[in-house]
Amino acid sequence: MHPFTRMTAVVASLIVTATLGVTGTAYAAPRSATATEACKLPGRTGWTDEGHDTMHPVFHPSTGKARAVMLFVDFPDAPAPSGDTDEYYNWLQPGTDWYRTASNGRLNLTIDPVRRWFRMPQDSGSYGFERGISFEQQELYIKQAVAAADSVVDFSRYDLVYLVPPKNAARITFSPAFIDDRVDSPGVVADGHPLRWGATFGQDMWRWGSKVLNHETGHTMGLPDLYAFTDPDGTGDWHRYVGGWDIMGDIAGNAPQYFAWHAWKLGWLDDNQVFCAPQHGRATFPLTPIERAGGRKMVVIRTEETTAYVAEYRRAIGLDSKACSSGVVIYRVDSAAWSGYAPIQVMDSKTDASPPAGCRPLDDGAFRAGQVFEDTAAGVRIRVIASGDGGGVIEVRGS
């Protein structure tokens, strides 16, 4: 789900040798590979996009410690049923463990639940969730919840606020992120502390599970939506850009691990884990699975000022244990594209094949040894030389 914000409301790669468990052969990065800085695309939308230059402090830091408070709110027309809040907290809390794994320990999100219900002053339907909710309505919702809890919560201890309604609050339908870009004049302040990030969860949390927390919190760190906002052809294929790869697309996708591009943008990968391919000639690169810590994780082939192709290696392990295919995932990044309008597009190695049961188109599209991807207009050709449990080796040719 896209975040509601004030803005949207108004509208030198190191030379290394790596041994892989695929052929027993060592492959070295070419000396012609350029510095990784040359492959960092600039953002052009001024908001959540694929630019490497994430706007801080508008967005929440993506490394280190992050503290969130979870408030449980009910309404005059939807009072919480008898019982405690543990079911709600336990449903969402695994998102913190997911982040520790996905970030290789570089993001430590903790959530303090306030284990009681706070009564909101308005009926649940008055906030506008059913109509799509505006930034102003969401801000009011958060402000009222914070005011209700202010006597028992020290908000100066927290970076993010999560609001959770009871199951019978059917009119709180969906779960948008909250980002207030007014750095100098935030709208929600408590205990002398601005609360500019968070998420207001709705009934769709019971469909998506705890990963809805990771999707929405990803927005607060500057990541865009990868699913489509429009359906001009009437196909109903809202996941036509990336399928089930990356949690910023299909939250319930089979391979939710963030793309390596996102991990790099978030500071979860170091520059020396990225190959920036030369624009001309031929070069060979080893890749290790992004689901494992350490090693080289992606090759970036820059094509224009704001576009590049990326190749990374994915396996059906770890957070991607249900992935529909393993191999080299190739995708095009456009840092000038708005959230929801194809900032990332995955290339399909099986355009003529139907995906297995339970998988979407693109989910089975990872490239294996012997397969080739080519974009003649961009002058890019990627050939997979080897693929196996330990990773893969690719050859990149630039014209």
So what's the pLDDT on residue 356? 87
What is the C-alpha separation between 94 and 221, in angstroms, rounded?
19
In a domain, 298, yes or no: yes
Contacts 24+ apart (CB under 8 A), 348-355: 349/373, 355/324
Q: Same domain, yes or no, for 242 and 177?
A: no
Q: Verify that 135 and 262 share a domain, yes or no.
A: no
- Tell me: do 105 and 207 sit in the same domain: yes
Q: What is the DSSP string of 335-390?
A: TTSPTTS-SEEE--S-TTSPPPTT--TTTT--B-TT-EEEETTTTEEEEEEEEETT
Domain count, the chain: 2
Do 163 and 216 have their domain in common? yes
Residue ranges making up the domain that contains 190: 64-220
Q: Which residues pair with 119 in a beta bridge?
A: 74
Whole-angstrom distance, CA of residue 251 vs CA of residue 258: 11
Q: What is the pLDDT of residue 23?
A: 35
Q: Looking at the structure, do residues 204 and 235 belong to the same domain, yes or no?
A: no
Single residue among 178, 199, 220 that ends a domain in this structure: 220
- Cβ atoms 68, 160 nearer than 8 A: yes
- For residue 238, what pLDDT is reported? 92
In a domain, residue 2? The reply is no
Q: Do 38 and 68 belong to one domain?
A: no
Over the chain (399 residues), the average pLDDT of each successive run of 10 is: 56 28 37 74 94 91 97 97 91 98 97 97 94 93 98 97 97 96 94 97 97 98 96 88 97 97 97 92 95 96 96 97 97 97 95 86 94 96 95 92
**Looking at the domain assignment, is residue 1 inside a domain?**
no
The answer as to whether 6 is a domain residue is no
Q: Is residue 369 assigned to a domain? A: yes
SS3 309: strand
Q: Is residue 3 part of a domain?
A: no
Same domain, yes or no: 101 and 178: yes
Task: Please calculate the CA angle 57-204-264 and round it to the nearest 5 degrees.
Answer: 35
The pLDDT of residue 56:
82
Q: Do 236 and 253 share a domain, yes or no?
A: yes
Domain end residue (candidates: 165, 189, 220): 220
pLDDT for 26 equals 36
Taken as a whole, the chain contains a residue count of 399
Question: Is 82 part of any domain?
Answer: yes
The verdict on 265 and 211 lying in the same domain is: no
- Asked whether 2 and 248 are in contact (CB, 8 A), the reply is no
Task: Please give the pLDDT value at position 221.
Answer: 97
Does the predicted model carry a pTM greater than 0.95? no
Is 7 within a domain?
Answer: no
Residues 38 and 134 grouped into a single domain: no
Is the domain of 272 the same as that of 132? no
Whether residues 112 and 213 fall in one domain = yes
Which residue among 182, 199, 220 closes a domain? 220
